[in-house]
Structure 1
Amino acid sequence: MTTICLVRHGETDWNVQGKIQGKTDIPLNAEGIKQAMRCAHGLTDANWDIIITSPLKRAKRTAELINETLQLPLMEMPQFEEKHFGDAEGMTYEERALTFPDRHYPNQEDNQLFAERLSSGLEIIHERFKNKRVLLVSHGGVINALLGTLSNGEIGSGKTRLLNTSFSHIQFDQTNWVIKNYNQVSHLEKEMSGT
């Protein structure tokens, strides 16, 4: 059975400021680097086969920091880059609500094309890494879109606020992908409580 652990990248300054990032290539901040290192310790008790990452800095650096501990093959896949949010990139939630109250952002990536890009990425993983355990470091919009599709809209985009470096697990169950859990952050809580 193919298993994927979807890992959201660590925190950036734009996350703290509530700005939408999209394809804008923002690096991790100091807290994001710490989160990624904590993340690695939360992943050591399972036998992962490969790390796949979005090429954007915040995801790639998170993957690299995790891999300092896990020492796995690391591969970039552009299919899992964040959605391009067009003219809304760099705006806070309040600025977006004022400027685009209908939530239609000019020049953003088409939702259908975005969904197709993610679907093709999942197909590639399933074909190339059948019955493997894959860590996939990506973005909130990507993970929420995947969760939304796989849950028929019950969770995901517009409903679930994914925390930085949260884990969401999906498995290929004979004919389709199934969500096992999502937005898991116990690896961060242990570190915060000092245990």
Structure 2
Amino acid sequence: MDAIELTGVLDFLRAAEQLKNTLRNSWTSAGRRESTAEHTWRLCLMAVLFRESFPDVDFAKLIKICVIHDLGEAVGGDIPAIAQVAGVPKAAKERQDLLQLLQPLPDRLRDEVLSLWDEYEAAATPEAKLAKALDKLETILQHNQGQNPPGFDYAFNLGYGAKYTSEPALIAAVREVLDEETRKKTEG
């Protein structure tokens, strides 16, 4: 890596730091809003812990996808699923934001990150499908674990990401445990 590329990588890393300040519609167990960076960390931790159950998944690629899946939020912020509007292309906006964030990177790195993000959005490969499933499960786990404000809509979790979490068996089992926790929260 030459000096110009190094400068671009450092500029990108400085801009990506914004994910530490980008707040989500999830609260921690201490009652403060969770950052996108914190969500991404636990998503990656889930991938590490469940990897033995998915021997045919390229683990390095899975972790890369998990790390980059919300990078665009460093520019445009998080749009909570509960606040998304039908017909408004969230993915297109996130991709545009990601392209802006990636500008300082050398072409080969920019292309790699963008390709992984596109793969995640399409959810067509085993790695992208697993990343999508774990992303949804991590969000539900946080919703159930968090010290949420009054009126928090736990029932939303019961349908959230269902199309990504019905299989394989381990993912479906985790989903069932989290759905049961959610049902208890809605009753209580």
Task: Give the structure-1-normalised TM-score.
Answer: 0.32
RCO comparison, higher one (Cα < 8 Å, 6+):
1
Larger radius of gyration: 2
More strand by share: 1
Task: Give the structure-2-normalised TM-score.
Answer: 0.33
More helix by share: 2
